[in-house]
């Protein structure tokens, strides 16, 4: 995908984790699922956000895992954690209460406003593919100050003009319905091609950076809507030696997610 020589020895997971980690600079609380978000948050904790507290939807606050967790409820997250809350407290007080700075989400489909589909491909009533559904994504979107989306696949089917189903609406859709969401919705989408950004309600996702060797046209071609492009598109700084060393040696030495 990214054919620049500076990143040839970097896997796609490493690239996404490093880029996402940088976006967490100076953040206090992050709501993270397992996988890339955990890698990104753990790396940020060691680099740009030493005060970062990772909150898991299972109820764990301030985990200090001895090993990288394999699930959001891995026992290693509980042993030695600062707090484990019931789910009503976690979703009600912590998340809906407005204590999350950044929520991480993924999706099968995303549109230009950052609305997400994780329910079905095809019709909801008779789907071609039944996907897992919201989980806590609707709540993460509605209540986090901002949301980062990490998408491994950047193609027109995933980055679509019209979602097959809107499971998880961004605040634009909520405002249309007359409700007042707390946060700004998706502010960053990090993919193998680059970074899309969005400043707030009423704004659409805009290409702000590409990885070395990726062209703006490549991103446009792989996006299913007429992609807005920033006046100046930056080139993403490739993962540094320090970042890669920490990620490989400290965060995920067993390469649980860095496949």
Partner 1 sequence: MTMREAVSSFVHDGDTVSLEGFTHLIPTAAGHEIIRQGRRGLTVVRMTADIVVDQMLAAGCVSRLVSSFVGNSSAGSLGELRRRVEKADPEPLIFEEYSHYGMICRYLAGAQRLPFYPLRSYGGSDLPSVNDGLRKVTSPFPGPDGEPEQVYVVPPVNPDVTIIHAQRADRSGNTQIWGLTGVQAEAVYAADKAVVVVEEIVEDEVVRSDPNRTVIPSHAVDAVVACPRGAHPSFAQGYYDRDNAFYRAWSGISKDPDRLRDWLKEWVYGTADHAEYVSKLGEEFWDSLAVGEAMSLPVNYGRRLG
The CB-of-75 to partner 1 minimum distance in angstroms stands at 4
Residue 169 and residue 185: Cα distance in Å, rounded?
8
User: What residues between 126 and 155 interact with partner 1 by CB under 8 A?
Assistant: 126-139, 142-143
DSSP states of 189-232? EE-SSEEEE--STT---EEEEE-TT--HHHHHHTSSS--EEEEE
Overall residue count recorded for the chain in this entry: 259
Decide: is 103 part of the binding site for partner 1 (CB under 8 A).
no
Contact set for partner 1, span 158-187 (CB under 8 A) = 165-182
Binding to partner 1 (CB under 8 A) within 5-64 occurs at 28-29, 33-35, 53, 55, 57-62, 64
Instruction: Confirm or reject binding of residue 73 to partner 1 (CB under 8 A).
Output: yes
Is 57 an active-site residue?
Answer: yes
Nearer to partner 1, 9 or 125 (CB): 125
The residue annotated as part of the active site, out of 14, 23, 53, 57, is 57
Q: Considering only the stretches 117-125, 188-196, 225-233, 234-242, report the one whose residues sit in contact with partner 1 under the rule CB under 8 A.
A: 117-125
2 or 143, CB closer to partner 1?
143
- Complex with partner 1: residue 134 or 218, whichever CB lies closer: 134
Q: Which long-range contacts (CB under 8 A, 24 or more apart) does 177-185 make?
A: 181/141, 181/142, 181/143, 182/98, 182/142, 182/143, 182/144, 182/145, 183/141, 183/142, 183/143, 183/144, 183/145, 183/146, 183/147, 184/145, 184/146, 185/113, 185/114, 185/141, 185/146, 185/147
Q: Where are the alpha helices (DSSP H) in 95-250?
A: 137-143, 171-176, 216-221, 241-245
Q: Which stretch binds partner 1 (CB under 8 A): 14-22, 121-129, 224-232, 242-250?
A: 121-129
Residue among 12, 46, 48, 70 that touches partner 1 (CB under 8 A): 70
Q: Does 213 bind partner 1 (CB under 8 A)?
A: no
Residues taking part in catalysis: 57
């Amino acid at each position: 995908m990214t054919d620049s020589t500076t990143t040839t020895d970097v896997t796609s997971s490493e690239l996404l984790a490093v880029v996402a980690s940088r976006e967490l600079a100076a953040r206090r609380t992050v709501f993270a699922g397992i996988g890339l978000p955990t890698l990104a948050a753990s790396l940020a904790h060691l680099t740009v956000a030493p005060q970062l507290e990772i909150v898991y939807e299972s109820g764990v606050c301030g985990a200090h895992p001895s090993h990288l967790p394999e699930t959001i409820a891995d026992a290693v997250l509980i042993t030695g954690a600062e707090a484990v809350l019931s789910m009503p407290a976690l979703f009600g007080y912590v998340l809906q209460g407005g204590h999350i700075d950044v929520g991480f989400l993924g999706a099968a489909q995303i549109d230009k406003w950052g609305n997400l589909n994780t329910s079905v491909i095809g019709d909801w009533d008779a789907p071609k593919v039944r996907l897992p559904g919201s989980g806590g994504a609707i709540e993460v979107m509605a209540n986090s100050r901002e949301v980062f989306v990490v998408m491994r696949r950047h193609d027109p089917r995933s980055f679509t003009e019209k979602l097959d189903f809107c499971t998880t609406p961004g605040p634009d859709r909520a405002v249309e319905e007359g409700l007042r969401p707390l946060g700004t919705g998706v502010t960053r989408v990090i993919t193998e091609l680059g970074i899309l950004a969005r400043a707030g309600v009423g704004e659409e996702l805009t290409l702000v950076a590409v990885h070395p060797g990726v062209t703006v046209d490549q991103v446009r071609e792989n996006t299913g809507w007429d992609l807005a492009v920033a006046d100046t598109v930056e080139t993403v700084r490739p993962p540094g030696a320090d970042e890669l060393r920490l990620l490989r040696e400290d965060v995920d030495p067993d390469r649980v997610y860095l496949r």
